[in-house]
């Protein structure tokens, strides 16, 4: 299982690294990879969904950092993984729309639908180890509110990035 996850992360990292122009950005990708691999030792009961979840975390992190290009790359990898899931078409479609978006705010809006799908799938499949947090920001999407998943208790809001980084709360802990 870890081999599959590590392989997917390695492929995504190589893809990202090959598309980066500076050593500084390559180093950031390597640091992101290490961070994703060690987050609370989260492991889902499905290897395929676990691999998709890792890309979801990379996408969320890119949105937190307002990094349009990395968000596109992570959503592209997420789309590929979602296509391999049973009933993963909706998730793959949302990821494709994020990849096609040319504006970070559009990506963030689309991330809400993707997050709702991911939350439903993670709840349905369950965790093998670790904890995943369902976090919620009531101000996201023009005060409609939006949720997302995180492997950390610390709230880092992908809907606002640096402007309101810690806006939100943990609504649920999945074990």
Q: Considering just the CA atoms, what is the radius of gyration of the chain in Å? A: 15
Burial (CB count <10 Å: 0-12, 13-18, 19+), residue 25:
middle
User: Is the residue at 161 inside a domain?
Assistant: no
Banded pLDDT at 41 (limits 50, 70, 90)? confident
pLDDT at position 40 is 56
What pLDDT digit, counting tens, does each position of 150-168 carry? 999 999 999 998 889 999 9
pLDDT at position 36 is 43
User: Is the residue at 75 inside a domain?
Assistant: yes
pLDDT at position 21 is 41
Count of the separate structural domains present in the chain: 1
Name the residue range of residue 77's domain: 2-130
User: Is the residue at 7 inside a domain?
Assistant: yes
Look at 108 and 4; give whichever has higher pLDDT. Answer: 108
What pLDDT digit, counting tens, does each position of 75-113 carry? 999 999 999 999 999 999 999 999 999 999 999 999 999
Record the pTM.
Answer: 0.79
User: Is the residue at 164 inside a domain?
Assistant: no
Give dist(CA 96, CA 100) in Å, integer: 6
> Is residue 126 scored above 90 in pLDDT?
yes
């Amino acid at each position: 299982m870890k081999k599959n996850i590590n392989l997917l992360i390695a492929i995504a990292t190589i893809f990202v690294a090959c598309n980066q122009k500076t050593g500084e950005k390559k180093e950031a990708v390597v640091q992101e990879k290490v961070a994703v691999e060690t987050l609370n030792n989260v492991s889902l009961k499905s290897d395929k969904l676990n691999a998709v979840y890792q890309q979801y975390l990379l996408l969320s992190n890119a949105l937190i950092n307002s990094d349009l290009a990395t968000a596109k790359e992570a959503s592209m990898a997420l789309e590929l993984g979602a296509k391999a899931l049973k009933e993963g078409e909706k998730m793959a479609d949302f990821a494709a729309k994020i990849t096609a978006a040319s504006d970070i705010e559009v990506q963030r809006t689309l991330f809400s639908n993707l997050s709702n799908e991911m939350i439903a799938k993670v709840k349905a499949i369950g965790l093998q180890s670790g904890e995943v947090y369902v976090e919620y920001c009531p101000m996201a999407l023009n005060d409609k509110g939006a949720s997302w998943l995180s492997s950390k208790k610390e709230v880092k809001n992908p809907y606002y990035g640096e402007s309101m980084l810690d806006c939100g709360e943990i609504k649920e802990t999945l074990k």
